[in-house]
Structure 1
Amino acid sequence: MDIKTLGFLMATALHLLQPLAAMADEAPPKSGNAVFDRAVELVIDNFHDASALPRFSAAVRQEIGTGPLNANSSETRVDKAIDTVLASLQASHTGRFEPDTIAYFELADIFRFAIRNDMRRLFPPDGQVSYPGIGMIAEPLAGSLFVSDVYDGSPAARAGILTGDEILSVDGAPYHEIASFSDKVGRTVEIRLRRDAGAEPTTVKVAVERLRPLRTFEQAIEASVGVSEQNGKRIGYVRLWTLSAPDGLDIVAREMADGRLKDVDGMVVDLRGRWGGGPSDAAELFVGDTPTFRLIPRKGEATLANMRWQKPVVAIIDEGARSGLELFAYALKSNGIPLVGARTAGALLAGRAYLLPDDSLLEVAVSDAVIGDDVRLEGIGVAPDIPVAFSLPYAAGRDPQRDAALREMQRILAGG
Structure 2
Amino acid sequence: MKRLRTALLVLIVPFALILGIWLGGHPDFLPGFARDTLVSDTDGRLYEEAIDKIEADYYRDVDRKALLNKSLESAVESLDDQFSHYFSPTEYHAFQLDTEGAFEGVGMSVTEVPEGLRVSQVYDGSPAKKGGLKEGDVIVSADGKSLKGKNSDESTALIKGPAGSMVTLKLKDGRTLTLKRAKVDIPIVQHRQETHDGKKIGWVSLAGFTSGSGDDVEAAVKDELKKGATGIVFDLRHNGGGLLNEAVEVASVFLPEGRVVSTKGRARPERVYNATGGAIDGKIPVVVLVDQGSASASEIVTGALQDRKRAKVVGTRTYGKGVFQEIMQLDNGGALDITVGEYFTPSGRNLGGGGVRKGAGITPNIQASDDPKTEPDEALEKALETVAAG
TM-score (norm 2): 0.56
Aligned partner letter, 2:207:
W
Which residue number corresponds to residue 43 of structure 2? 30
Structure with the bigger percentage of strand: 2
Distance in 2 (alpha carbons) for counterparts of 1:349 and 1:169: 26
Distance in 1 (alpha carbons) for counterparts of 2:363 and 2:369: 13
Tell me which moved more, 271-280 or 326-335: 271-280
Which residue number corresponds to residue 14 of structure 1? none
Which residue number corresponds to residue 104 of structure 2? 132
Distance in 2 (alpha carbons) for counterparts of 1:80 and 1:354: 14
Which residue number corresponds to residue 328 of structure 1? 301
Which residue number corresponds to residue 254 of structure 1? 219
Distance in 2 (alpha carbons) for counterparts of 1:95 and 1:192: 21
Aligned partner letter, 2:313:
L
Q: Say which SS state the counterpart of residue 226 (structure 1) adopts.
A: strand
Residue by residue, what CA displacement relative to the aligned partner does 1:86-110 show, whole Å, maximum 9, x if unpaired? Answer: 22xx585x32234665x86235664
User: How far off its partner does 1:313 sit?
Assistant: 1.6
Which residue number corresponds to residue 386 of structure 1? 366
Contact 2:232 2:387 in 1 (8 A): no
Name structure 2 gaps, 5 residues minimum. Answer: 1-39, 52-63, 148-154, 259-276, 354-358
Alignment RMSD (CA, Å): 5.1
User: How far off its partner does 1:317 sit?
Assistant: 1.9
Distance in 1 (alpha carbons) for counterparts of 2:141 and 2:349: 45
Tell me which moved more, 373-382 or 326-335: 373-382
Per the alignment, do residues 225 and 206 of structure 1 end up closer, same or farther by CA in structure 2, a change over 3 Å counting? farther
Equivalences for residues 63-102 of structure 1 within 5 A: 78=71, 81-87=74-80, 90=81, 92=83, 94-98=84-88
Distance in 1 (alpha carbons) for counterparts of 2:89 and 2:288: 33
Name structure 1 gaps, 5 residues minimum. Answer: 1-26, 38-70, 113-128, 291-304
Distance in 1 (alpha carbons) for counterparts of 2:65 and 2:368: 49
The question of 1:271 aligning with 2:245 is answered: no
The question of 1:245 aligning with 2:211 is answered: yes
Distance in 2 (alpha carbons) for counterparts of 1:306 and 1:336: 15
User: How far off its partner does 1:235 sit?
Assistant: 2.7
User: How far off its partner does 1:353 sit?
Assistant: 0.8
Indicate which of 307, 311, 314 corresponds to 1:337: 311
Per the alignment, do residues 406 and 30 of structure 1 end up closer, same or farther by CA in structure 2, a change over 3 Å counting? farther
Indicate which of 185, 198, 202 corresponds to 1:232: 198
Per the alignment, do residues 346 and 232 of structure 1 end up closer, same or farther by CA in structure 2, a change over 3 Å counting? same
Which residue number corresponds to residue 187 of structure 2? 220
Distance in 2 (alpha carbons) for counterparts of 1:148 and 1:341: 16
The question of 1:147 aligning with 2:119 is answered: yes
Q: How many residues align?
A: 298
User: How far off its partner does 1:326 sit?
Assistant: 1.6
Distance in 1 (alpha carbons) for counterparts of 2:291 and 2:41: 38
| Matched-pair identity in % | 22
User: How far off its partner does 1:314 sit?
Assistant: 1.4
Distance in 2 (alpha carbons) for counterparts of 1:412 and 1:342: 17
TM-score (norm 1): 0.53
Greater radius of gyration (CA): 2
Which residue number corresponds to residue 329 of structure 2? 355
